[in-house]
């Protein structure tokens, strides 16, 4: 995660990775704030590098819990105060770089950081008896002033992790919206006298029988039927020559559609 512009501070929850984290390199990430005391729980970490950031405050004494650390680099930050003596208890330490900070007090002289092939670099700090240290002006600047890490907002305890419950909460019944007075039904007997009350009328049910299909028609009038009167015969002698009008043509029977006439079948023929 090095060389990113992460910003912010290192959370206290970093200690929860004590059983799984082997290396942590947060170099050049624009980090601020203080180192949390929970870094002492990272007992399996072999590389701890937070160099080239803007971290401040003092190194926590819990740093002695890094039992497996080999490379410890806190250079190029704004650390102040004295280097804790617990650094001398780190059994696997091979390289400890703490240069370009504002450490004060005495230079660590324990065997873990000064002998046995271990490389230690602490230039450009504020050690009075050290070599290649910062000037008096730099060591009296606001950057060299101690910082109260307990007042820092990043030092607040983060809530412990708890898995999200898998059971769903019971659904609450839907809330009915109360009716306004104008929407409420009228009370029983409303609009009637207090002495006479009639029960509500019982519902009426009407049954409509489906109409039967119309029967087939067996008769259709012949279209274009005309009646022609026979020619008049010449008048006979002794017979009046008075002309009688021709009788009117027979009227065509009109049948109502959908009706028919029923005729009785003929009687059975006798077999004798």
Query: What does the pLDDT read at residue 56?
Result: 94
The arithmetic mean of pLDDT across residues 252-257, rounded, is: 51
The most confident of the ranges 62-71, 215-224, 235-244 is 62-71
Residue pair 34/57 in contact (Cβ under 8 Å)? The answer is yes
The most confident of the ranges 65-79, 206-220, 249-263 is 65-79
Residue pair 30/7 in contact (Cβ under 8 Å)? The answer is yes
The arithmetic mean of pLDDT across residues 175-200, rounded, is: 54
- What's the rounded Cα separation, in Å, for the pair 166 and 188? 51
Q: Which domains does the chain have, with CATH numbers?
A: 12-155 (3.80.10.10)
Instruction: Identify the helix (H) or strand (E) that includes residue 159.
Output: none
- The contacts found for 134-141 with CB under 8 angstroms, 24 or more apart, are 134/102, 138/102, 139/102, 139/104
> What pLDDT digit, counting tens, does each position of 38-66 carry?
999 999 999 999 999 999 999 999 999 99
**pLDDT bucket at 162, cuts 50 / 70 / 90:** very low
Instruction: Identify the helix (H) or strand (E) that includes residue 114.
Output: helix 111-114
**pLDDT bucket at 161, cuts 50 / 70 / 90:** very low
Query: What does the pLDDT read at residue 122?
Result: 87
Answer whether residue 190 shows pLDDT above 60: no
- β-pairing, 47-49 vs 23-25, is parallel
The arithmetic mean of pLDDT across residues 94-117, rounded, is: 78
Strand partners, 78: 56
Answer whether residue 103 shows pLDDT above 50: yes
> Greater confidence, 264 or 135?
135
**pLDDT bucket at 211, cuts 50 / 70 / 90:** low
Share the mean pLDDT of the chain.
73
- What's the rounded Cα separation, in Å, for the pair 64 and 89? 6
- What's the rounded Cα separation, in Å, for the pair 145 and 22? 33
Strand partners, 95: 71, 119
**pLDDT bucket at 272, cuts 50 / 70 / 90:** very low
Query: What does the pLDDT read at residue 126?
Result: 94
Query: What does pTM read for this prediction?
Result: 0.56
Q: How many CB atoms are closer than 10 A to CB 78?
A: 17
> What pLDDT digit, counting tens, does each position of 59-81 carry?
999 999 999 999 999 999 999 99
Query: What does the pLDDT read at residue 239?
Result: 46
Return the SS3 of 39: helix
Residue pair 111/88 in contact (Cβ under 8 Å)? The answer is yes
């Amino acid at each position: 995660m090095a060389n990113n512009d992460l910003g912010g501070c290192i959370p206290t929850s970093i200690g929860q990775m004590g059983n799984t984290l082997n290396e942590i390199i947060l170099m050049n990430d624009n980090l601020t704030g203080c180192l949390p005391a929970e870094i002492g729980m990272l007992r399996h970490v072999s590389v701890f590098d937070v160099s080239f950031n803007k971290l401040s405050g003092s190194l926590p004494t819990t740093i002695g819990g890094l039992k497996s650390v080999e490379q410890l680099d806190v250079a190029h930050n704004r650390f102040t105060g004295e280097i804790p003596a617990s650094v001398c208890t780190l059994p696997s330490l091979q390289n400890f770089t703490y240069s370009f900070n504002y450490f004060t007090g005495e230079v660590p002289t324990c065997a873990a950081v000064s002998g046995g092939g271990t490389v230690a670099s602490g230039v450009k700090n504020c050690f009075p008896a050290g070599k290649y240290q910062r000037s008096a002006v730099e060591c009296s600047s606001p950057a060299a002033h101690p910082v109260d890490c307990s007042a820092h907002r990043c030092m607040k305890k983060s809530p412990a992790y708890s898995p999200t419950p898998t059971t769903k909460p019971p659904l609450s019944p839907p809330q009915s919206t109360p009716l306004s007075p104008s929407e409420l039904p009228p009370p029983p007997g409303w609009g009637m006298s207090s002495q006479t009350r009639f029960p509500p009328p019982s519902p009426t049910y009407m049954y409509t029988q489906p109409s039967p299909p119309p029967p087939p028609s067996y008769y259709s009038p012949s279209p274009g039927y005309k009646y022609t009167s026979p020619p008049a015969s010449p008048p006979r002698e002794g017979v009046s020559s008075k002309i009688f009008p021709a009788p009117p043509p027979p009227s065509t029977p009109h049948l109502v559609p959908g009706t028919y006439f029923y005729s009785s079948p003929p009687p059975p023929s006798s077999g004798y």
